[in-house]
Amino acid sequence: MTAAAPRPLAATTGDPAGIGPDVILTSWLRRRETGLPAFYVLGDPDQMKTRAGLLDLDVPVAVCSPGEAVALYPDALPVVPLRNRLAHPAGVPDRINAPGIVESIDRAVADVIAGRAAGVVTAPIAKKPLYEAGFGYPGHTEYLAALAEQHFGRRTMPVMMLAGPKLRAVPVTIHIPLRAVFDTLTTDLIVETCRIVAGDLEHRFGIAEPRLALAGLNPHAGEGGALGREDEDIVQPAVEALRAEGIAARGPLPADTMFHDRARETYDAAICMYHDQALIPAKALGFDDSVNVTLGLPFIRTSPDHGTAFEIAGSGKALPDSFMAALRMAAIMAEHESRTKTA
């Protein structure tokens, strides 16, 4: 593949017992009608063929290398085979698949870093079978950050963003109990999160001067301290520090009035203080077409905004919309990043 050749996206297989294979197969079938960017799957060709048969889908599978994927993509689903085979049963998670799941992620990241792929699109994984096999990370995002640190030798702070047609929302604190948010949230954490968001919105989304709206932690953003001092003592200093750096930030804003149509026109991303404050509006406004984007990594990573859904795997009920949106968003991000690097 030459430097001028188009680069495909690298899609991981996810947990093969879940709906990852289902949405990958149905996305490929809709590639022409939706103008889907070229991608290949790091997976088990036999497993993909078995799932296509179970779903009664006419999807030719082409075993290939990443460099062959773009040419094959119009006529077959390109699959780069893993060294570790994957068990085939739909809906039956098994720790035997853990080595293949992890290999798929490892090789997708390696392909992007080596220039063989434009970005990583991860199909959903389940934590339990991975933990049973000795996987030592809380989830996808933390593992990807560890891989980035291994490859580049520097600290990486991943930032989660849910992005859809109507809203981009970022939780500053993520998978922790609500009672722990008050001990975890700091001015420095908010500032560092916002720096990463602003940088990626500029370089990977093409927004020249990103506007950030910071939600208050307490009801009505604390009402001047009457409902808690965290907004005055933690969030407001973060806003002031960001403005001093030239980042267009405002807040803390009452979260209950931040997400209506007119309010969303005033910012490019909502910075929320805890998980549900960000994800409830994001999913309410775009449940089927929102994308989970990991900002702050030295490579592009998107994923569909849904889980493994073992209970419907292989049934034909899984909708591919979010996976297709993740592919499109990764391609758009790669295009903007390429323009930034050549500017």
Which residues sit in the known binding site? 140-141, 175, 220, 275, 283, 292, 301
**Dihedral, 105, 110, 115, 117 alpha carbons, nearest 10:** -10
- Tokens 């702070």, residue located: 157
Distance CA 124, CA 308 (A): 5
Is 191:242 a contact under the CB 8 Å cutoff? yes
Length reported for the chain: 343
| Lookup: tokens for 159 | 């930032």
Task: Give the annotated binding-site residues for a divalent metal cation.
Answer: 175, 220, 275
Quote the Cα angle for 72-76-81, to 5°: 80
CA distances from 248 to 63, 135, 318 (A): 48, 40, 40
Task: Give the annotated binding-site residues for substrate.
Answer: 140-141, 283, 292, 301
| Lookup: tokens for 333 | 């991000």
